[in-house]
Amino acid sequence: MTTEISVPDIGDFESVEIIEILVKPGDTINKNDPIVTLESDKSSVEVPSPFTGKISSLKVKIGDKVSKGNVLALIEAEETKPEQESKEQKKEETKPLKQKKEEMLPETEKIIKQAEQTIVQKHRKESPKKVYALPNGGDIDPIETKEWLDSLDAVTVKDGSDRAHYLLKKLIDEAYKEGSHRPLTRVTPYINTIPPEAEVKSPGDQNIERRIRSLIRWNAAAMVVKANKKNPELGGHIGTFASAATLYDVGMNHFWRGKNNKFGGDLIYFQGHSAPGMYARAFLEGRITEKQIANFRQEVDVKGLSSYPHPWLMPKFWQFPIVSMGLGSIMSIYQARFTKYLINRGLLKDQDRKIWTFLGDGEMDEPESLGAIGLASREKLDNLIFVINCNLQRLDGPVRGNSKIIQELEGIFRGAGWNVIKVIWGSYWDPLIAKDKSGLLIRRMNECVDGEYQAFKAKGGAYVRENFFGKYPELKELVSTMTDADIWRLNRGGHDPHKVYAAYDAAVKTKGRPTVILAKTIKGYGMGKSGESINITHQQKKLGEEDLLYYRDRFDIPLTDKQVKNVEFYKPNEKSEEIKYIKERRMRLGGNLPERTSYAKPIKKPSKNIFENMLKSSGSHEMSTTMALVRMLTNLLRDKNIAPKLVPIIPDEARTFGMEGFFQKIGIYAHEGQKYEPVDSEQLSFYREDRKGQVLEEGITEAGAMSSWIAAGTAYTNHDLEMIPIYIFYSMFGFQRVMDLAWAAGDAQTRGFLIGATSGRTTLAGEGLQHQDGHSHVLASAIPNCISYDPTFSYELATIVQEGLRKMHDKQENIFYYLTVMNENYQHPQMPKDCEKGILKGMYLFKEFNNRGKTKIQLLGCGAILREMIAAAEILSKEYNIDSDVWSVTSFNELRKDGMNIERKNLLNPGQKPEKSYVEKCLGKREGTIIAASDYIRTFVDQIRPYISKSFYSFGTDGYGRSDGRKKLRKFFEVDKEHIVTYALSVLAKEQLISSKYAERAMKKYNIDKDKPIPTVL
Ligand SMILES: Cc1ncc(C[n+]2csc(CCOP(=O)(O)OP(=O)(O)O)c2C)c(N)n1
Ligand SMILES: [Mg+2]
């Protein structure tokens, strides 16, 4: 049956142009196959067929303008009822009878009145007559309290703790209804979450594990001390790993599975300052040589070991660069989410891999540490486990001297919906807590603050007896049979392998939410007087002989005094129990950690015809480079190799960039699918969330979006899957906002595209000072493996993207691209001949104005300002008979890279004929002074100044942006065609090639006020 395919609801648009027809008569198509592409002045979107069948005729052609309801084609459809219709019908059937607005009001008022009466009565009923609790939380009726506690006990014994929890929750809910607003469940008592009887026991041999841990501790400390003996400039940390050794060891021996040909491996984000501990273990495992650890922090000549986890410097070892505090948290959260994304999209097998992140308690104050924890619980990331090493100290002093960091973090994470496991007390405390029937011990634990806990571990057993237990006679009595040494031995949970094992075991078994383990430890554990739990611990890197001997004895390291004085490392022989054990554990767990490998298959570069349209002139059709990019992405989504690998990432700006067509076409990733009918469900580009959705619509978090981009751009190593992440953002909120993450992305060798959209100080126009970007390219230039371009025309953009795909995803080079695209609409010319190489190198000759010129000038324009330069060249030619060569500069950054490389080569080869830089090759033989301008600060343009032998003048948009139209802004920043003409005339006058009167006249003509201050002060 012949059926019409017509234009569906396309939102607010009327008369939208058809720019592509994707079917022809006779084609057999499936439902949802695209029929045509429509383009408004803001976005382009494909119209899918609502039917499966054979196209019998087309009713439109390219260039036609259509609106909702216009017929596009006729189809011999297999079924004629489009889904949309039946949905609408269904809705009609179930719709309740609509009441008229006027009829609703009195009824509503009645309900409100009734409600108000109830509230008033309730208020009267509950006016407080009695004081229920003392302001300090003290108990006004201990007998009543006991009755409640006995009841709770009885319920727990009879029906279990879940029933007790249920009743408590009911009571709390009831109390809320009655007006109590205190968050009763924010924190739990200051004791371990897992009671001793519920602990799962470690199957490991504790004696061997302790010996291994001691050796790792020694070698880790020795490598820092040795390096600093050689050269005190080198630095390093002992105290951080000393506090975390058990936390790492239990994971390494029992939980963290390596990557191999059957399993993808757990991903561990090691806290940066713990790096010596990871090296020390790898040394015992035979993965790192003694020469390497002897050269810790000496990387230049001897290929020693990196200070911190840097994949760029140790690409076969480190996976995650997280020494900048806070980044580990946010990057790992988005890593865990991206892993689920790949699984839900069917690209990765679900092997229950875990992501573990080690963080410092001081580090948790970074906004990036806590800023994304809501996402982790919202997305039910049960593949994510945080271990926060709560040694109570940061660099200068206690993290929370006057309160307790563990309790604070517990409240925050519980509030965010995480599973919180506190590992506060070690096993030696268990009998004391069991004996404490009155609850006084827990009360004392609750009332001490971290400043005191820090002192307890710095000042010895007698001090603890006096100042901790001594506060209450009953507690003093509790420890009366213990010696001071026994009291000193009362350990902290994070140093107890049993407690840590039980916590890890519970964490890996947790379903439906992420887990955070809050482990209490001692900073500088084992360092004694030189650095245990004292304020200078963090900086301590030079242990004296006495300190080293103490450390050796504390951990029973079989080294002689002489060997200790020489700061020798210790590794038992290969046949020893320890080495056999450590290797066997890792073998059982599937492989080494950390280890960075990649077995990802390259993605074949797309066929050239995907880009064909972009190389042609757009004729009279005007469009922005943003729209050109979106068109290109839409085309790439038709390439079978590329399409599934594209990961569009957007922080809440898809509509600004005209990308809403992606919602319908590839869907927005949502781990629970779409539980609601979207408000715009009738429209073509409706907000479609889908479990298999491809777009990462991150919301307003550039740091989160950047973390997703890093996760996707490193999937080639972390998941052996090459992905193509394209993160599109307001250019001002890119590098400026997340530079630290961009730096880490470079270190991690992320591959992908960063797109600074709505770019250019004068091109974004009305948004003003906070939005108008004039320096993102300068920031991008600081990252060595970032390649950046500011293209003007769609063929430039197409050339760059093609090359990017080829280099990063076909050739698998470890680079990433930063491209700026604009929202200014204009016509795009056809690609000139032979400019491909120039586009990629950074500049090419766009046009020569050869009239009968008196004199000549070289005009270099970049991005938005190239068009001003072309217009200026026309004026100079027509009105002043001045010839010019106009160059399109696609990247001053790339030109500078070439320039400095060539200059260096020449300086290092003084006896040889010097090579020419690329800019010199382009401009050296051309006549005339150079005038160069961009929509960025002059620093961007000035980068090429040293590499050309001619006079050079640069113009740019230095200063704060402000709101206005493009024309006015360009005049204000002096990068409009009129200023360029005037400055060109002035430059030629300065060079004594023409009279100065031309420039003066131009200033008058164009209303250029020479007394206006430079924009940087305005
Ligand atoms: C963004 C950032 N700011 C500052 C530092 C310097 N820094 C290194 S370690 C440290 C203290 C860390 O304390 P904590 O997080 O408690 O870790 P711990 O060493 O106690 O385990 C600081 C301030 C850094 N590495 N990164
Ligand atoms: Mg700390």
Per-residue pLDDT, averaged over 876-902, amounts to 97
For residue 360 and ligand 1, the question of a CB distance below 6 A is answered with yes
Atom of ligand 1 nearest to the CA of 389: 21
Q: Of 59, 189, 178, which is closest to residue 122 (Cα–Cα)?
A: 178
pLDDT at 93: 43
Query: CB of 553 within 8 A of CB of 420?
Result: no
Chain centre distance of CA 460: 44
For residue 240 and ligand 1, the question of a CB distance below 6 A is answered with yes
pLDDT at 688: 96
- The span from the CA of 743 to the CA of 779, in Å, is 10
Residue 113 above 90 pLDDT?
no
- The span from the CA of 838 to the CA of 844, in Å, is 5
**How many C-beta neighbours within 10 Å does residue 472 have?**
15
- The span from the CA of 843 to the CA of 829, in Å, is 17
Residue 375 above 60 pLDDT?
yes
Per-residue pLDDT, averaged over 496-509, amounts to 98
Q: Of 774, 799, 783, which is closest to residue 744 (Cα–Cα)?
A: 783
Q: Of 20, 520, 494, 554, which is closest to residue 250 (Cα–Cα)?
A: 494
Output the average pLDDT for the chain: 92
The rounded Å distance from CA 873 to ligand 1 centre is 55
Per-residue pLDDT, averaged over 54-82, amounts to 87
Q: Are strands 855-862 and 929-933 parallel, antiparallel or unpaired?
A: parallel
- What are the strands of the beta sheet with 724-730, ordered from one edge? 696-697, 646-650, 724-730, 753-757, 816-820, 786-789
- ∠ at Cα 196 (190, 200), nearest 5°? 120
**Whose Cα sits closest to atom 7 in ligand 1?**
395
The rounded Å distance from CA 857 to ligand 2 centre is 62
- The span from the CA of 865 to the CA of 936, in Å, is 9
Residue 545 above 70 pLDDT?
yes
The rounded Å distance from CA 703 to ligand 1 centre is 20
Token match 């401009």: residue?
923
pLDDT at 852: 72
**DSSP assignments along 431-447, one per residue:** HHHHH-TTSHHHHHHHH
Instruction: Give 841's pLDDT tier (boundaries 50, 70, 90).
Output: very high
Q: What are phi and psi of 7, to 5 degrees?
A: -70, 125
Poorest-pLDDT segment among 160-169, 371-380, 866-875: 160-169
**282: alpha, beta or left? (left if phi > 0; alpha if psi -120 to 50):** alpha
* Highest-pLDDT range among 96-100, 533-537, 752-756: 752-756
pLDDT at 185: 66
The rounded Å distance from CA 708 to ligand 1 centre is 24
pLDDT at 105: 53
- The span from the CA of 714 to the CA of 539, in Å, is 33
- The span from the CA of 704 to the CA of 709, in Å, is 9
Strand-pair partners of 5: 73
pLDDT at 180: 66
- ∠ at Cα 361 (358, 362), nearest 5°? 120
- The span from the CA of 335 to the CA of 344, in Å, is 14
Nearest ligand for residue 271 CA:
1
Token match 């050689």: residue?
230
Q: What are phi and psi of 786, to 5 degrees?
A: -100, 130
- The span from the CA of 487 to the CA of 616, in Å, is 82
Would you give the end-to-end CA distance of the chain in angstroms? 69
pLDDT at 129: 46
- The span from the CA of 675 to the CA of 399, in Å, is 42
Query: CB of 73 within 8 A of CB of 58?
Result: yes
Token match 């242990």: residue?
543
Which tens digit of pLDDT belongs to each residue from 776-792? 999 999 999 999 999 99
Q: Of 940, 941, 917, which is closest to residue 931 (Cα–Cα)?
A: 941
pLDDT at 106: 58
For residue 885 and ligand 1, the question of a CB distance below 6 A is answered with no
**630, burial (CB in 10 Å: exposed 0-12, middle 13-18, buried 19+):** buried
For residue 362 and ligand 1, the question of a CB distance below 6 A is answered with yes
Q: Of 869, 704, 286, 248, which is closest to residue 497 (Cα–Cα)?
A: 248
Instruction: Give 134's pLDDT tier (boundaries 50, 70, 90).
Output: low
Residue 210 above 80 pLDDT?
yes
Residue 805 above 60 pLDDT?
yes
Query: CB of 727 within 8 A of CB of 702?
Result: no
pLDDT at 137: 60
pLDDT at 896: 98
For residue 323 and ligand 1, the question of a CB distance below 6 A is answered with yes
User: Could you tell me which residues come within 8 angstroms of residue 480 by beta carbon, excluding any fewer than 6 positions away?
Assistant: none
Burial 248-260 (b: 16+ CB within 10 A, else e): bbbbbbbbbbbbe
Poorest-pLDDT segment among 175-184, 431-440, 812-821: 175-184
Sign of CA dihedral 969, 973, 979, 980: negative
Query: Distances from the Cα of 514 to the Cαs of 255, 368, 413, 443, in angstroms?
Result: 16, 17, 10, 29
Chain centre distance of CA 713: 11
The rounded Å distance from CA 192 to ligand 1 centre is 26
The rounded Å distance from CA 243 to ligand 2 centre is 9
Q: Please give the residue that has the higher pLDDT: either 937 or 114.
A: 937
For residue 394 and ligand 1, the question of a CB distance below 6 A is answered with yes
Q: Of 654, 738, 734, which is closest to residue 693 (Cα–Cα)?
A: 654
**Whose Cα sits closest to atom 19 in ligand 1?**
240
Alpha helices (H) in 348-427, listed in sequence order: 367-370, 373-378, 405-415
The rounded Å distance from CA 726 to ligand 2 centre is 36
- ∠ at Cα 418 (416, 419), nearest 5°? 150
pLDDT at 165: 86
Per-residue pLDDT, averaged over 911-926, amounts to 97
Residue 98 above 60 pLDDT?
no
Per-residue pLDDT, averaged over 793-799, amounts to 98
Atom of ligand 1 nearest to the CA of 361: 16
Residue 123 above 60 pLDDT?
no
Query: CB of 66 within 8 A of CB of 103?
Result: no
Residue 674 above 70 pLDDT?
yes
Which tens digit of pLDDT belongs to each residue from 960-1017? 999 999 999 999 999 999 999 999 999 999 999 999 999 999 999 999 999 999 999 9
- The tally of CA atoms less than 13 A away on the side-chain side of residue 448 is 22
Strand-pair partners of 518: 388, 422
| SS3 call for 989 | helix
For residue 309 and ligand 1, the question of a CB distance below 6 A is answered with no
pLDDT at 77: 87
**DSSP assignments along 678-724, one per residue:** -TTTTBTT---EETT--BEE--S-HHHHHHHHHHHHTHHHHSS---E
Q: Of 586, 429, 433, which is closest to residue 496 (Cα–Cα)?
A: 429
For residue 391 and ligand 1, the question of a CB distance below 6 A is answered with yes
Which tens digit of pLDDT belongs to each residue from 346-364? 999 999 999 999 999 999 9
Please choose from 273, 327, 406 the residue to mutate so as to test ligand 1's pocket, defined by most ligand atoms within 8 A of CB.
273
Residue 125 above 60 pLDDT?
no
Instruction: Give 873's pLDDT tier (boundaries 50, 70, 90).
Output: very high
For residue 540 and ligand 1, the question of a CB distance below 6 A is answered with no
